Structure 1
Amino acid sequence: MTRKERIAELDLIRSFAFLAVVYQHVIGIYMRKPGIDEHTAIMYGMLFHFLKFAVPAFIFMTGLVLFYNYYDRISYPTFIRKRVVEILIPYTIWTAVYLALQPNPWGGKDPLWVMMKSFLTGTASYHLWFVVMIFQFYLLYPLWQSVFRALRKWASSKIRFTVAIGMMSLLYGGFMWFSSRYIPAHAFRFDVTLLDTYWIKYRDRNAFYYFFYFLMGGLAAVTLATFRQTIQRRWLWICTSFVLLYVYIGYELFRDSGHGMINLNVATSLKPSMFLYTVAQLLLVYGAALWLGKWKGSKWFALLGKYSYGAYLMHALVLTYVMKGLNALQVFHNSLAGSLVAFVLCSILSFAISYGLGKLPFGAWIVGAAEKKRKVSSGQTKDLPYAG
């Protein structure tokens, strides 16, 4: 059997996306602080948009690695058992940790019900929704595998390939319009509770609302060499598209926030303009990873990428104590410098703790199997739990 190339740039992209997630959450805290001035709020809004590639990037990488490793065949029981161990067990442990740290986690309700609901919806902490969403791609991978293979078989010519990409883009754009425009404007709801919960109430963690980035990763997987070359050849076009779309979504942020304030909820990924912007940014980030991969210092980013799952799970808790420390010291307050300090401290501490726990005998149950995966052959590309 021919050994597949290890896709080294993915570790860099994982680290970029993890750092982007941390700073988004830092911005969220600083934006809620009283007394923030308008200019600082605008700067935070612009930075928040710049960092919005994080979640789509993880979904893109999930699709890339799954289709790269399991395009032809898959032993589903073995496949899903591995993901339960490497993703759900650490997620369950950290869900329990976050619930235990809440002042009144049960709220007078049945503890078992609260724990089950928190586990299924990712509501024990504000960042755990992502694990619920991303695991659906693993759970339904045979379905996506069949859809992707059928599309690839049909798109046998350049014309058909272009039509397939166009149709998938229109379908996904329609999803984004439905989520961001139709549902709020018409207060749309399903009569069936289960449908309403999955497709409306918790649509931000419904994997079908992110399917384009997953299939985009699959396209990169089956055309890897061409995909890399296209990004490098079309670098100027990608940068131009990114800048133009960045300006436009910035205009939307000011237009839709209202009353001269910046409302970060306007910067949702689930709207058509953010879809186009995100695709351009994903290509830009991938190109940056290819370029930075030639730099010797990139090994530190790669190491961070390997431990990003554990760091992600714990970073909200770490950020809480970082902010308590900074507030107690009464330094930085609402300044941009303060957010950068909080970001750096949270990122370093989250990585250090994840790395340390990964060294323990049962560390993989807490932070994922990063340590084990470091020892695999360099000819393999592993599907790391947080973004693999």
Structure 2
Amino acid sequence: MNLSVPDEEIKETNSHSSQNATHPKQYRIWIQMAIYSFMVISGQSTATLLGRLYYEKGGKNKYIAALVQSAGFPIILPLLYISSKKNPTSNSTGQSKSSLNLVLASLYVAFGTFLALECMLYAVGLMYLPVSTFSLICASQLGFNAFFSYFINSQKITPFILNSIVLLTISTTLLVLNSDSLTSDVNKKYTLGLICTLGGTSGYALLLSVQQLAYGKLLKRQTFKEILNVILFESMVTTFALLVGLFGSGEWRSLRNEMEGFELGRKLYLVILIGSALAWQVFGIGMVALILKVSSLYANVVSTLNVPFVPVLGVLIFEDRMNGIKVVAMLLAVWGSVSYVYQKYVDDVEVKEENVNVEVQRD
């Protein structure tokens, strides 16, 4: 009796097997991306709203507003301890390990110092801008990152990504033109807020692209432990740099009076600062994880997904003005973000098809 199976059936069976084998892995990747994306969106939205609340109720210290963006790093220590227990460090040669640690330490200092500047720019921007305008301008970070990723990370600029860049640029331009309707004194503060926020978004986009290049080559496994190490040491450097600025400028002397005069009271003053610090750490962990797992451009896309939420919450909580220009800017920012998300979906489908074809050819 002939029990042989035709080659076509063997290939078809192997094809289905390879697809089934890749499905659990794909699901795990998407679940991880969903978790990290939620951390980015919820952390950034919460931190931005709390930061604006700090200013609205009597907070005036820019160094404190910047410091909370990095000072929550101690919450990482328990997570790092648990991660180290589950994934003990492998034994590697002392020379290669020490060389790697030296390079990483240099990167932590450089990136952490640059982040201190970024925190100050964001703190000043949020001080002088309504939270709705601030969050919409931050959406332009995606366009800056696509530009930097093209040169630094060899990121392809597809029609969908180009469409996203154009829409986000127009959205930001509309918000800049919106300053013409303001009074002279308010317009100066608004302009300063615009400049600082745009400087912060472009600088942070550049930093993300450089981080992807540097850490992508040095951190081969890109485990959760490595992600936590990046956040921890960079935040430590950033916090130290901002503390030097706080005490060097003498602004620390006004903290007691600021706390006593805070409209919501001393307890809520501390709650707002601590909550903001924790939210920024949640955001930071999610961002670095997405950079290492996917790309800096995708991490930026996720960070812009709060565009529909923060402006609306700003109107409801802080009574921000939502005029026609802001509405159009928000719709364009959402459209630009969705355009890139669709490109990510297309890329993922193409990768799946390529993997299946490779498996079929091997069989």
TM-score range, shorter chain: 0.3 to 0.5
Structure with higher Rg: it is 2
Choose between structure 1 and 2: higher helix proportion: 2
TM-score, normalised with respect to structure 2: 0.39
